[in-house]
């Protein structure tokens, strides 16, 4: 007789979701206060950034500061920002002269496609090669893969990006070098999607390869550890095939730290792609965040931080749910002592 | 006006320059979209409000000024104005405007548009115009093709003429009148009279312009359109040129170190002209509030400690010239070589520092300074590294403090929290537009690229004011020669080198660098091979 099914709304998964949702506003407030204080500590404001690039006289500087509300005290500006936020208004980007929400909405899908694609690629490649390396620790394949992972892990992403660009875009001309679409082509539907995918191949490869090296090393290390476990010895004693032993027992147990890393890596989805977005001219959130800092566009930067904090919360929630699928010993909804 | 062509400093690029020159004699081909690199996306793209090269680079193809600079005499090409004449007393300036010109929305261009722009945009809001047009009282429009600017105080016709290319972009009155000009959507969705119409801007990706079939100078433009691809990484710009994804990169967007390699590639030319009208200087800015630096002997010692030839050869890889004063050589109307100079001479520098009562201490250091290199250019940052070493050689310990643009602007031009800084002011065709402000005293804090150095000399201030009001060109020129001599004697800031930019382009692109402000002009004569 199978155990009674528990509905999602009453089950431990729902408890976890509810608890994370309850924590979210506090996390967001913490992020906002921290970010605002850091930004206030930075020298210069949006008007300084504006006149540094476009010039202006003293009267213009004063007028601009009034127009952008930067003549008010920092606490007043922050309270006004929070009041706006409470009504769902993320504010006005002074650098782009548009609502923050509109600017972010334009860039978020691109970053999700880039970071999501890179994560999937890195996870699949890294764990796959990690299993190959960890299947026979210290074997020739392990040595080759571990050395390659070390080299890749130590490679700066901008340099790797330029190398890939030189090979695939400049020499072979197989792939486009920059941007996310063919300008003025007017593609739509599936053709547009394929065009977008083609443009994202090099940035996804660049971002993904560096993370793949990390996953490979983690997976391999986890498997080396698992080989020494009692349950593996017991499984061996039972005489099960090596293939089954590696995949069902060793690799599965080594997967947990990799999944943990997947969650942690989500926190770098925005920041980690700044360099790759710049090299391949991908208009994503990472580049936008860098521009917001340079332009001292505080509403825009706070908006980006809110979105990225929400993304981190969401991904970590998904990772926790995934834990329970991989390892039944993990109890969802249980409070940590 | 006489403009001398820049000599070719880098021998490696010379053959390619010759090839580009030979191509200019061929018959232009109609058609093709030129794809070029852009590395910034200005918040406000309206040149009537923001007179800046970053804005002009895109906007000058859509929105035109009254006149453009040209090589040779008389130094100008008419655009929206066919001719102009100043009154003998300097209090009025009459413009005869081009007839039959239409804005891209079909409405005719008239003197009312010029009057509106002059009084409501240039004078009230434009970054340079707010100071330049401060005495503009009224604009009379006796007929649709005549505009008379009336000034409260004498304004030299020569000065207004020199300002026409950069300060007089005309946008349609009917789209701006009655609105808040700074919040007008047409500051981004441009409407003008130029050879190209604005189509779209995809932030972070590109600007797209298309040919204006009703351009007043038909059959120009030759191109079907221009696409500005936003490429923030300079290494990627070089790669994009090699891959053929872009055909042109202006404003030395490709690192100088890559230029020689690119110049050797088939199908790519490096072009070393077309920027003389926007010559930049690298300067050492000095905070005179610091006791040691207020002594002219110390400033002269610093000048003697710097080797401009080293800066030219090693930092600019030959693409610059040692500066003689704040007015670049190419402007032969105002530049004078008859001024004190401070050749590289570390021994003389040390002697001057000893004379100023600043001997080397037990550790070999005379005194210490904070040095802030401006982050605008790769070369200004490198100049900071070089200056630190050059000063160390004469016993001055410099601590480098590197900031981003907003931080630098606040530290140097608002808070005056620096001892020495590396600046890069631009010369805009007349000393009164953006050069004398580097020497003028009494300016409030917060004004970028101005005398925030705590230096004030009543004689210099009086000279600057007189030159800006003197109507006769020869007298003006003489006053500016005196200005340069005082600047060189007192050395409130040290001009080190003057430089312009390079354009790297596919040899398929023609009609490049045909005027001294080419990169920021309208590109109506630019064309692509079939």
> In this predicted model, what pLDDT tens digit does every residue of B177-216 receive, in sequence order?
999 999 999 999 999 999 999 999 999 999 999 999 999 9
- Nearest C-alpha in B relative to A104: B203
Half-sphere exposure of A5 (CA within 13 A, CB side): 3
Residue A108 Cα to chain centre, angstroms? 11
Which residues, in sequence order, are bridge partners of residue B230?
A: B38
Contact (CB<8Å) B231/A50: no
pLDDT digits (tens, 9 = 90+) for A73-87: 999 999 999 999 999
- Structural domain count of chain A: 1
Contact B450, B285 (CB under 8 A): no
Domain with A277 in it: 4-42+73-326
Considering only residues 23 to 42 of chain B, which have any Cβ-Cβ distance to chain A shorter than 8 Å?
Answer: 33, 35, 40, 42
Q: Complex ipTM, two decimals?
A: 0.86
A61 in a structural domain: no
Contact (CB<8Å) A283/B208: no
- Nearest C-alpha in A relative to B410: A44
> What residues in B contact A173, CB-CB < 8 Å?
243-244
A59 in a structural domain: no
What is the rounded average pLDDT for all residues in chain A?
A: 87
C-alpha B316/C-alpha B497 separation (Å) is 10
- Nearest C-alpha in A relative to B376: A53
A197 in a structural domain: yes
Give B121's pLDDT tier (boundaries 50, 70, 90). Answer: very high
Q: Cβ contacts of residue A102 below 8 Å, gap of 6+?
A: none
Q: pLDDT: is B20 or A3 the higher one? A: A3
pLDDT at B446: 87
CATH superfamily of B277-499: Dipeptide-binding Protein; Domain 3 (3.10.105.10)
Q: Is any Cβ of chain A less than 8 angstroms from the Cβ of B409? A: yes
Domain boundaries, chain B: 5-41+203-275+501-528, 62-173, 277-499
A205 in a structural domain: yes
Q: Is any Cβ of chain A less than 8 angstroms from the Cβ of B412? A: no
Q: pLDDT: is B49 or A27 the higher one? A: B49
C-alpha A21/C-alpha A16 separation (Å) is 9
- Nearest C-alpha in A relative to B199: A184
C-alpha B3/C-alpha B426 separation (Å) is 17
> What CATH number belongs to B5-41+203-275+501-528?
3.40.190.10
Q: Is any Cβ of chain A less than 8 angstroms from the Cβ of B43? A: yes
pLDDT digits (tens, 9 = 90+) for B222-238: 999 999 999 988 888 99
Give the closest of A57, A58, A281 to B230, CB-based.
A281
A280 secondary structure, DSSP code? T
Contact (CB<8Å) B35/A183: yes
CATH superfamily of B62-173: Dipeptide-binding Protein; Domain 1 (3.90.76.10)
Nearest residue to B92 (alpha-carbon basis) of B147, B28, B46, B26: B147
pLDDT digits (tens, 9 = 90+) for A293-304: 999 999 999 999
Contact (CB<8Å) B448/A184: no
Contact (CB<8Å) A162/B50: no
Tell me how many residue pairs between chain A and chain B have CB atoms under 8 A apart.
Answer: 161
Asked if the model's pLDDT at residue A17 lies above 90, the reply is no
Which residues, in sequence order, are bridge partners of residue A210?
A: none
Give the closest of B188, B208, B406 to A44, CB-based.
B406
**B21 φ, ψ to 5°?**
-65, -40
Contact (CB<8Å) A53/B50: no
Query: Which tokens is B442 given?
Result: 């009494």
pLDDT at A317: 83
Contact (CB<8Å) B243/A281: no
Shortest Cα distance, chain A CAs vs residue B13, angstroms: 22
Give the closest of A55, A95, A166 to B128, CB-based.
A55
> What residues in A contact B444, CB-CB < 8 Å?
58
Give B12's pLDDT tier (boundaries 50, 70, 90). Answer: very low
Shortest Cα distance, chain A CAs vs residue B514, angstroms: 26
> What residues in B contact A51, CB-CB < 8 Å?
127, 409, 446, 448
pLDDT at A2: 47
Contact (CB<8Å) A43/B406: yes
C-alpha A282/C-alpha B240 separation (Å) is 14
Question: What CATH number corresponds to the domain at position A309?
Answer: 1.10.3720.10
């Amino acid at each position: 007789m199978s155990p009674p099914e528990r509905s999602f709304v009453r089950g431990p998964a729902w408890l976890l979701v509810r608890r994370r949702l309850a924590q979210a506003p506090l996390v967001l407030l913490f992020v906002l206060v921290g970010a605002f204080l850091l930004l206030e500590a930075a020298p210069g404001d949006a008007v300084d950034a504006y006149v540094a690039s476009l010039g202006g006289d003293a009267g213009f500087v004063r007028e601009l500061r009034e127009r952008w509300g930067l003549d008010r005290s920092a606490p007043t500006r922050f309270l006004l920002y929070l009041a706006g936020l409470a009504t769902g208004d993320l504010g006005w980007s002074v650098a782009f002269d548009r609502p923050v929400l509109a600017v972010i909405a334009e860039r978020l899908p691109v970053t999700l496609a880039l970071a999501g694609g890179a994560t999937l690629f890195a996870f699949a490649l890294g764990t796959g090669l990690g299993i190959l390396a960890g299947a026979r620790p210290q074997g020739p394949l392990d040595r080759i893969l571990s050395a390659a992972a070390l080299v890749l892990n130590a490679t700066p992403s901008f340099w790797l990006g330029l190398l890939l660009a030189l090979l695939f875009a400049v020499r072979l001309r197989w792939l486009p070098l920059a941007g996310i679409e063919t300008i003025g082509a007017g593609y739509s539907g599936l053709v547009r999607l394929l065009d977008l995918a083609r443009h994202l191949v090099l940035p996804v490869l660049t971002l993904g390869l560096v993370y793949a090296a990390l996953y490979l090393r983690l997976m391999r290390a986890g498997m080396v550890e698992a080989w020494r476990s009692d349950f593996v010895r017991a499984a061996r004693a039972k005489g099960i095939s090596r293939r089954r032993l590696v995949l069902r027992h060793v690799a599965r147990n080594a997967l947990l730290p990799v999944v943990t890393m997947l969650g942690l890596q989500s926190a770098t989805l925005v920041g980690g792609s700044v360099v790759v977005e710049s090299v391949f001219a991908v208009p994503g959130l990472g580049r936008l965040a860098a521009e917001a800092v340079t332009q001292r566009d505080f509403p825009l930067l706070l908006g980006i931080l809110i979105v990225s904090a929400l993304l981190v919360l969401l991904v970590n929630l998904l990772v926790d749910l995934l834990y329970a699928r991989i390892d039944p010993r993990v109890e969802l909804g249980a409070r940590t002592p | 006006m006489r403009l001398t062509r820049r000599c070719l400093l880098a021998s490696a690029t010379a053959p390619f320059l010759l090839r580009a020159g030979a191509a200019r004699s061929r018959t232009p081909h109609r058609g093709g979209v030129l794809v070029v690199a852009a590395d910034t996306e200005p918040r406000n793209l309206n040149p009537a409000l923001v007179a800046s090269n970053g804005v002009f680079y895109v906007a000058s193809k859509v929105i035109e000024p009254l006149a453009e600079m040209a090589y040779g005499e008389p130094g100008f090409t008419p655009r929206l104005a066919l001719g102009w004449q100043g009154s003998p007393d300097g209090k009025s300036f009459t413009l005869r405007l081009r007839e039959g010109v239409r804005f891209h929305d079909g409405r005719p261009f008239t003197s009312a548009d010029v009057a509106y722009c002059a009084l409501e945009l240039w004078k009230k809001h434009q970054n340079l115009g707010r100071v330049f047009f401060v005495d503009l009282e009224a604009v009379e429009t006796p007929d649709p093709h005549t505009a008379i600017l009336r000034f409260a105080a004498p304004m030299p016709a020569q000065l207004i003429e020199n300002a026409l290319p950069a300060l007089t972009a005309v946008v349609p009155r009917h789209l701006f009148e009655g609105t808040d000009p700074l919040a007008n959507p047409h500051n981004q969705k441009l409407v003008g009279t130029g050879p190209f119409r604005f189509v779209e801007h995809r932030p972070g990706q590109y600007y797209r312009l298309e040919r204006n079939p009703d351009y007043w100078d038909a059959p120009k433009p030759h191109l079907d359109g221009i696409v500005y691809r936003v490429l923030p990484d300079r290494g990627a710009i070089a790669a994009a040129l090699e891959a053929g994804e872009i055909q042109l990169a202006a404003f030395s967007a490709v690192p100088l170190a890559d230029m020689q390699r690119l110049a050797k590639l088939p199908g790519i030319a490096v072009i070393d002209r077309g920027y003389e009208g926007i010559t930049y200087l690298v300067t050492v800015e000095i905070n005179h509030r610091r006791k040691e630096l207020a002594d002219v002997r110390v400033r002269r010692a610093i000048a003697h400690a710097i080797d401009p030839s080293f800066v030219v050869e090693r930092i600019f890889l030959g693409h610059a010239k040692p500066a003689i004063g704040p007015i670049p050589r190419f402007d032969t109307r105002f530049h004078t070589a008859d001024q004190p100079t401070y050749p590289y001479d570390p021994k003389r520098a040390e002697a001057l520092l000893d004379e100023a009562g600043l001997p080397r201490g037990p550790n070999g250091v005379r005194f210490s300074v904070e040095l802030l290199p401006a982050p605008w250019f790769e070369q200004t940052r490198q100049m900071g590294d070089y200056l630190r070493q050059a000063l160390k050689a004469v016993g001055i310990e410099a601590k480098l403090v590197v900031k981003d643009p907003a931080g630098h602007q606040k530290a140097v031009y608002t808070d005056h929290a620096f001892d020495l800084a590396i600046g890069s002011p631009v010369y805009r065709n007349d000393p009164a537009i953006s050069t004398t402000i580097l020497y003028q005293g009494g300016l409030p804090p917060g004004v970028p690229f101005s005398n925030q150095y705590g230096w004030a000399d009543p004689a210099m201030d009086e000279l600057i004011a007189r030159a800006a009001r003197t109507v006769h060109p020869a007298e003006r020129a003489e006053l500016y020669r005196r200005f340069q001599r005082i600047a060189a004697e007192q050395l409130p800031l040290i001009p080190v080198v003057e430089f312009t930019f390079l354009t790297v382009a596919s040899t398929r692109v023609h009609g490049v660098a045909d005027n001294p402000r080419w990169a920021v002009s309208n590109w109506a004569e630019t064309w692509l091979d079939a």
